[in-house]
Structure 1
Amino acid sequence: MAEVNLMELGIELVPKEQKQTISRLMQFYLYDFTRYLDLEVDRDGGFPEYPGLEAYWNSGNNKFAYLFTVDGHIAGFALVDRLLRNLEGQYYMTEFFVMQKYRRSGVGTWAAHRLFDMFPGDWKVSQIRANTPARNFWHRVIGSYTHGEFKERFNPKQGNPSQYFSTLSINRIKK
Protein backbone atom coordinates (compact mmCIF):
# COMPACT_ATOMS: atom_id res chain seq x y z
CA MET A 1 0.00 0.00 0.00
CA ALA A 2 1.26 3.47 -0.85
CA GLU A 3 2.27 5.76 1.95
CA VAL A 4 -0.17 8.45 3.07
CA ASN A 5 1.96 11.31 1.70
CA LEU A 6 1.58 9.91 -1.83
CA MET A 7 -2.23 9.84 -1.62
CA GLU A 8 -4.83 12.57 -1.92
CA LEU A 9 -6.71 12.34 1.38
CA GLY A 10 -10.06 13.85 2.22
CA ILE A 11 -12.47 14.04 5.10
CA GLU A 12 -16.01 15.35 4.75
CA LEU A 13 -19.13 15.70 6.83
CA VAL A 14 -21.83 13.40 5.44
CA PRO A 15 -25.02 15.28 4.55
CA LYS A 16 -28.40 13.74 5.31
CA GLU A 17 -28.93 13.00 1.61
CA GLN A 18 -25.94 10.61 1.73
CA LYS A 19 -26.61 8.93 5.09
CA GLN A 20 -27.16 5.63 3.28
CA THR A 21 -23.41 5.57 2.54
CA ILE A 22 -22.64 5.32 6.26
CA SER A 23 -25.40 2.75 6.70
CA ARG A 24 -23.88 0.56 3.97
CA LEU A 25 -20.32 0.94 5.30
CA MET A 26 -21.64 0.01 8.74
CA GLN A 27 -22.25 -3.51 7.38
CA PHE A 28 -18.50 -3.96 6.81
CA TYR A 29 -17.77 -2.44 10.21
CA LEU A 30 -20.16 -4.84 11.93
CA TYR A 31 -18.70 -7.75 9.98
CA ASP A 32 -15.29 -6.89 11.45
CA PHE A 33 -16.84 -7.03 14.93
CA THR A 34 -18.01 -10.63 14.49
CA ARG A 35 -14.51 -11.54 15.71
CA TYR A 36 -15.26 -9.92 19.08
CA LEU A 37 -19.05 -9.86 19.51
CA ASP A 38 -21.82 -12.37 18.94
CA LEU A 39 -23.38 -10.70 15.89
CA GLU A 40 -25.49 -12.56 13.36
CA VAL A 41 -26.85 -11.57 9.97
CA ASP A 42 -30.58 -11.65 9.35
CA ARG A 43 -32.33 -13.88 6.80
CA ASP A 44 -31.50 -11.37 4.05
CA GLY A 45 -27.78 -11.56 4.88
CA GLY A 46 -27.50 -8.16 6.53
CA PHE A 47 -26.52 -7.11 10.01
CA PRO A 48 -29.10 -5.26 12.10
CA GLU A 49 -29.36 -1.50 11.73
CA TYR A 50 -26.81 0.35 13.82
CA PRO A 51 -28.78 1.72 16.81
CA GLY A 52 -29.11 5.48 16.82
CA LEU A 53 -27.51 6.06 13.42
CA GLU A 54 -30.37 8.34 12.33
CA ALA A 55 -29.49 10.71 15.20
CA TYR A 56 -26.33 11.75 13.33
CA TRP A 57 -28.56 13.76 11.01
CA ASN A 58 -31.40 14.67 13.40
CA SER A 59 -29.77 15.72 16.67
CA GLY A 60 -28.69 19.26 15.88
CA ASN A 61 -25.01 19.97 16.52
CA ASN A 62 -24.11 17.07 18.81
CA LYS A 63 -23.39 14.19 16.43
CA PHE A 64 -21.17 14.15 13.35
CA ALA A 65 -20.69 11.53 10.64
CA TYR A 66 -17.56 11.82 8.48
CA LEU A 67 -16.29 9.95 5.44
CA PHE A 68 -12.59 9.54 4.68
CA THR A 69 -11.45 9.33 1.08
CA VAL A 70 -8.24 8.31 -0.65
CA ASP A 71 -7.75 9.55 -4.20
CA GLY A 72 -11.51 10.16 -4.35
CA HIS A 73 -12.45 6.65 -3.16
CA ILE A 74 -14.23 6.00 0.12
CA ALA A 75 -11.72 4.68 2.65
CA GLY A 76 -13.71 4.73 5.91
CA PHE A 77 -15.86 6.69 8.30
CA ALA A 78 -16.07 8.08 11.81
CA LEU A 79 -18.95 8.94 14.10
CA VAL A 80 -18.10 11.65 16.61
CA ASP A 81 -20.36 12.72 19.48
CA ARG A 82 -20.20 16.01 21.32
CA LEU A 83 -20.78 15.11 24.96
CA LEU A 84 -22.88 17.57 26.92
CA ARG A 85 -22.37 17.87 30.66
CA ASN A 86 -20.23 14.74 30.74
CA LEU A 87 -17.35 14.31 33.16
CA GLU A 88 -15.54 11.98 30.74
CA GLY A 89 -14.88 14.62 28.10
CA GLN A 90 -16.34 16.86 25.45
CA TYR A 91 -15.95 14.52 22.45
CA TYR A 92 -16.31 10.81 21.98
CA MET A 93 -15.04 8.80 19.02
CA THR A 94 -18.18 6.69 18.88
CA GLU A 95 -17.16 4.60 15.87
CA PHE A 96 -14.12 4.61 13.60
CA PHE A 97 -13.65 2.38 10.57
CA VAL A 98 -11.01 2.10 7.86
CA MET A 99 -11.59 -0.22 4.91
CA GLN A 100 -9.24 -3.23 4.88
CA LYS A 101 -7.56 -1.98 1.68
CA TYR A 102 -6.39 1.21 3.42
CA ARG A 103 -5.33 -0.20 6.78
CA ARG A 104 -1.65 0.14 7.72
CA SER A 105 -1.23 2.91 5.14
CA GLY A 106 -1.47 5.90 7.48
CA VAL A 107 -5.02 6.79 6.45
CA GLY A 108 -6.51 5.95 9.87
CA THR A 109 -3.86 7.95 11.72
CA TRP A 110 -4.33 10.90 9.36
CA ALA A 111 -8.14 10.82 9.73
CA ALA A 112 -8.03 10.52 13.54
CA HIS A 113 -5.55 13.39 13.86
CA ARG A 114 -7.69 15.53 11.52
CA LEU A 115 -10.76 14.88 13.67
CA PHE A 116 -8.85 15.71 16.85
CA ASP A 117 -7.79 18.99 15.22
CA MET A 118 -11.36 19.75 14.10
CA PHE A 119 -12.80 19.29 17.60
CA PRO A 120 -10.44 20.84 20.14
CA GLY A 121 -11.17 19.76 23.69
CA ASP A 122 -11.25 16.73 25.95
CA TRP A 123 -11.66 13.40 24.16
CA LYS A 124 -12.62 9.83 25.00
CA VAL A 125 -11.89 6.90 22.68
CA SER A 126 -13.00 3.35 23.63
CA GLN A 127 -12.48 -0.15 22.34
CA ILE A 128 -13.95 -3.57 22.99
CA ARG A 129 -11.62 -5.35 25.39
CA ALA A 130 -10.90 -8.31 23.09
CA ASN A 131 -10.10 -6.05 20.12
CA THR A 132 -6.35 -5.87 20.69
CA PRO A 133 -5.59 -4.50 17.17
CA ALA A 134 -7.90 -1.52 17.81
CA ARG A 135 -6.38 -0.86 21.22
CA ASN A 136 -2.87 -0.97 19.75
CA PHE A 137 -3.94 1.36 16.93
CA TRP A 138 -5.43 3.92 19.32
CA HIS A 139 -2.44 3.78 21.68
CA ARG A 140 -0.18 4.54 18.72
CA VAL A 141 -2.45 7.23 17.19
CA ILE A 142 -3.29 9.03 20.42
CA GLY A 143 0.25 8.60 21.72
CA SER A 144 1.75 10.24 18.64
CA TYR A 145 -0.87 13.03 18.68
CA THR A 146 -0.43 13.82 22.40
CA HIS A 147 3.26 12.92 22.74
CA GLY A 148 2.16 10.20 25.17
CA GLU A 149 0.00 12.50 27.28
CA PHE A 150 -3.14 10.38 27.70
CA LYS A 151 -4.70 8.26 30.42
CA GLU A 152 -6.29 4.87 30.01
CA ARG A 153 -9.09 3.57 32.21
CA PHE A 154 -11.15 0.40 32.08
CA ASN A 155 -14.93 0.25 32.35
CA PRO A 156 -15.67 -1.47 35.67
CA LYS A 157 -18.53 -3.59 34.21
CA GLN A 158 -17.33 -4.75 30.78
CA GLY A 159 -13.61 -4.15 31.26
CA ASN A 160 -13.39 -2.19 28.00
CA PRO A 161 -10.46 0.25 27.78
CA SER A 162 -10.89 3.97 27.07
CA GLN A 163 -8.23 6.56 26.44
CA TYR A 164 -8.69 10.12 27.71
CA PHE A 165 -6.76 13.15 26.50
CA SER A 166 -7.03 16.83 25.68
CA THR A 167 -6.26 18.39 22.33
CA LEU A 168 -6.16 21.86 23.89
CA SER A 169 -2.74 21.45 25.48
CA ILE A 170 -1.16 19.85 22.42
CA ASN A 171 1.69 21.88 21.06
CA ARG A 172 1.91 20.26 17.65
CA ILE A 173 3.73 21.36 14.55
CA LYS A 174 1.16 21.60 11.78
CA LYS A 175 2.20 19.95 8.55
Structure 2
Amino acid sequence: MNITLVPIGLQEKEHLNNLLIKYKKELTGNLGRYKYLDSYFEEKDRYPFFIKVDGNVAGFVLVNNYSIVAKGAKSIGEFFVEQKYRKQGVGKEAAKKVFDLFPGKWEIRQLHSNPQGQIFWRKVIKEYIDDNYQEVMLNNEKWHGTAQIFKT
Protein backbone atom coordinates (compact mmCIF):
# COMPACT_ATOMS: atom_id res chain seq x y z
CA MET A 1 0.00 0.00 0.00
CA ASN A 2 1.56 3.32 -1.13
CA ILE A 3 0.46 6.21 1.12
CA THR A 4 1.29 9.74 -0.01
CA LEU A 5 0.44 13.32 0.88
CA VAL A 6 -0.42 15.50 -2.11
CA PRO A 7 -0.85 19.28 -1.80
CA ILE A 8 -4.39 20.32 -2.71
CA GLY A 9 -4.60 22.92 -5.46
CA LEU A 10 -7.36 25.48 -5.94
CA GLN A 11 -8.87 23.37 -8.74
CA GLU A 12 -9.46 20.57 -6.18
CA LYS A 13 -11.07 22.80 -3.55
CA GLU A 14 -14.57 21.44 -4.20
CA HIS A 15 -13.37 17.86 -3.74
CA LEU A 16 -11.90 18.89 -0.38
CA ASN A 17 -15.16 20.66 0.50
CA ASN A 18 -17.13 17.46 -0.15
CA LEU A 19 -14.80 15.48 2.11
CA LEU A 20 -15.05 18.18 4.79
CA ILE A 21 -18.84 17.91 4.72
CA LYS A 22 -18.57 14.16 5.24
CA TYR A 23 -16.03 14.68 8.02
CA LYS A 24 -18.14 17.29 9.83
CA LYS A 25 -21.25 15.13 9.62
CA GLU A 26 -19.38 12.17 11.09
CA LEU A 27 -17.73 14.20 13.84
CA THR A 28 -20.57 16.54 14.87
CA GLY A 29 -23.68 15.65 12.88
CA ASN A 30 -23.46 19.11 11.30
CA LEU A 31 -23.67 19.40 7.50
CA GLY A 32 -22.59 23.03 7.30
CA ARG A 33 -19.71 24.42 5.28
CA TYR A 34 -16.27 24.38 6.91
CA LYS A 35 -15.69 28.02 7.78
CA TYR A 36 -11.92 27.98 7.20
CA LEU A 37 -11.98 26.28 3.78
CA ASP A 38 -11.17 29.45 1.83
CA SER A 39 -8.37 30.32 4.24
CA TYR A 40 -6.43 27.22 3.21
CA PHE A 41 -6.25 28.58 -0.33
CA GLU A 42 -5.81 32.28 0.47
CA GLU A 43 -3.50 32.50 3.48
CA LYS A 44 0.13 31.55 3.85
CA ASP A 45 1.00 29.16 6.69
CA ARG A 46 -1.99 26.94 5.88
CA TYR A 47 -1.31 23.68 4.08
CA PRO A 48 -4.05 21.41 2.70
CA PHE A 49 -3.12 17.87 1.64
CA PHE A 50 -5.00 14.91 0.26
CA ILE A 51 -4.05 11.59 1.78
CA LYS A 52 -3.75 9.16 -1.12
CA VAL A 53 -3.54 5.38 -1.09
CA ASP A 54 -2.19 3.90 -4.31
CA GLY A 55 -3.14 7.16 -6.07
CA ASN A 56 -6.73 7.27 -4.74
CA VAL A 57 -7.93 10.01 -2.38
CA ALA A 58 -8.39 8.38 1.03
CA GLY A 59 -8.77 11.52 3.14
CA PHE A 60 -7.16 14.84 3.95
CA VAL A 61 -5.02 16.68 6.48
CA LEU A 62 -5.08 20.44 7.03
CA VAL A 63 -1.97 21.89 8.66
CA ASN A 64 -1.74 25.41 10.06
CA ASN A 65 0.03 27.60 12.61
CA TYR A 66 -2.95 28.03 14.94
CA SER A 67 -1.71 26.82 18.32
CA ILE A 68 -3.23 27.60 21.71
CA VAL A 69 -0.72 26.27 24.24
CA ALA A 70 2.57 25.94 22.34
CA LYS A 71 2.99 29.31 20.66
CA GLY A 72 4.65 29.08 17.26
CA ALA A 73 3.86 25.39 16.87
CA LYS A 74 2.39 23.73 13.81
CA SER A 75 -1.08 22.29 14.29
CA ILE A 76 -3.35 19.89 12.49
CA GLY A 77 -6.55 21.80 11.88
CA GLU A 78 -8.46 18.77 10.61
CA PHE A 79 -7.60 15.17 9.81
CA PHE A 80 -9.85 12.66 8.07
CA VAL A 81 -9.48 9.18 6.64
CA GLU A 82 -12.35 7.62 4.69
CA GLN A 83 -14.03 4.70 6.45
CA LYS A 84 -12.83 2.07 3.97
CA TYR A 85 -9.18 3.01 4.63
CA ARG A 86 -9.35 2.95 8.43
CA LYS A 87 -7.72 0.33 10.66
CA GLN A 88 -5.06 -0.29 7.99
CA GLY A 89 -2.36 2.12 9.17
CA VAL A 90 -3.26 4.81 6.62
CA GLY A 91 -3.93 7.53 9.18
CA LYS A 92 -0.85 6.70 11.22
CA GLU A 93 1.41 6.73 8.15
CA ALA A 94 -0.13 9.98 6.87
CA ALA A 95 0.38 11.65 10.26
CA LYS A 96 4.03 10.60 10.34
CA LYS A 97 4.54 11.98 6.84
CA VAL A 98 3.07 15.32 7.95
CA PHE A 99 5.41 15.45 10.94
CA ASP A 100 8.34 14.68 8.62
CA LEU A 101 7.32 17.52 6.26
CA PHE A 102 7.24 20.10 9.05
CA PRO A 103 9.95 19.31 11.60
CA GLY A 104 9.79 21.29 14.82
CA LYS A 105 7.24 22.04 17.51
CA TRP A 106 3.71 20.59 17.21
CA GLU A 107 0.41 20.98 19.02
CA ILE A 108 -2.28 18.42 18.21
CA ARG A 109 -5.76 18.96 19.70
CA GLN A 110 -8.86 16.81 20.01
CA LEU A 111 -12.29 17.79 21.31
CA HIS A 112 -13.60 16.23 24.53
CA SER A 113 -16.38 14.80 22.36
CA ASN A 114 -13.87 12.88 20.20
CA PRO A 115 -12.39 10.11 22.38
CA GLN A 116 -11.47 8.03 19.32
CA GLY A 117 -9.37 10.93 18.06
CA GLN A 118 -7.65 11.20 21.43
CA ILE A 119 -6.76 7.49 21.38
CA PHE A 120 -5.51 7.72 17.78
CA TRP A 121 -3.28 10.76 18.32
CA ARG A 122 -1.80 9.51 21.61
CA LYS A 123 -0.84 6.25 19.90
CA VAL A 124 0.62 7.92 16.80
CA ILE A 125 2.59 10.55 18.73
CA LYS A 126 3.87 8.01 21.26
CA GLU A 127 5.14 5.80 18.45
CA TYR A 128 6.60 8.67 16.43
CA ILE A 129 8.60 10.32 19.22
CA ASP A 130 8.96 7.48 21.70
CA ASP A 131 6.45 8.79 24.27
CA ASN A 132 8.26 12.13 24.67
CA TYR A 133 5.31 14.54 24.70
CA GLN A 134 3.29 16.70 27.06
CA GLU A 135 -0.49 16.43 27.29
CA VAL A 136 -2.76 19.14 28.64
CA MET A 137 -6.50 19.36 29.15
CA LEU A 138 -8.09 22.62 28.02
CA ASN A 139 -11.50 23.93 28.96
CA ASN A 140 -11.67 27.59 28.05
CA GLU A 141 -13.13 29.91 25.43
CA LYS A 142 -10.60 28.75 22.82
CA TRP A 143 -10.77 24.97 23.23
CA HIS A 144 -12.56 22.19 25.10
CA GLY A 145 -10.41 19.11 24.87
CA THR A 146 -6.99 17.55 24.95
CA ALA A 147 -3.75 18.82 23.41
CA GLN A 148 -0.46 17.02 22.89
CA ILE A 149 2.67 19.13 22.58
CA PHE A 150 5.94 17.74 21.22
CA LYS A 151 8.93 18.34 18.96
CA THR A 152 9.89 16.30 15.92
Same fold per superposition (TM over 0.5): yes
- Aligned equivalent of 2:91, options 108, 121, 131: 108
Is contact 1:89–1:124 with CA below 8 Å preserved after alignment? no
Q: 1:52 aligns with which of 17, 20, 36?
A: 36
Secondary structure, counterpart of 1:20 in structure 2: helix
Q: Equivalences for 1:117-128 in 2 at 5 Å?
A: 117-128=100-111
1:9 pairs with 3, 20, 42, which one? 3
More strand by share: 2
Amino acid at match of 1:127: Q
Q: In structure 1, list runs of 5 or more residues that go unmatched.
A: 1-6, 41-46, 168-175
Shift of 1:54: 0.3
Equivalenced residue count is: 149
Runs of 4+ in structure 1 deviating by more than 6 angstroms, as ranges, are: none
Query: What is the CA RMSD across the aligned residues, in angstroms?
Result: 1.6
Partner SS, residue 139 of structure 2: coil
Contact 2:70 2:149 in 1 (8 A): no
Any gaps of 5 or more consecutive residues in structure 2?
A: none
| Aligned 1:22-101 pairs, distance under 5 A | 22-34=16-28, 39-40=29-30, 47-60=31-44, 62-83=45-66, 87-101=70-84
Name the aligned partner's letter for residue 142 of structure 1: I
Larger Rg: 1 or 2? 1
Tell me the TM-score normalized by structure 2. 0.92
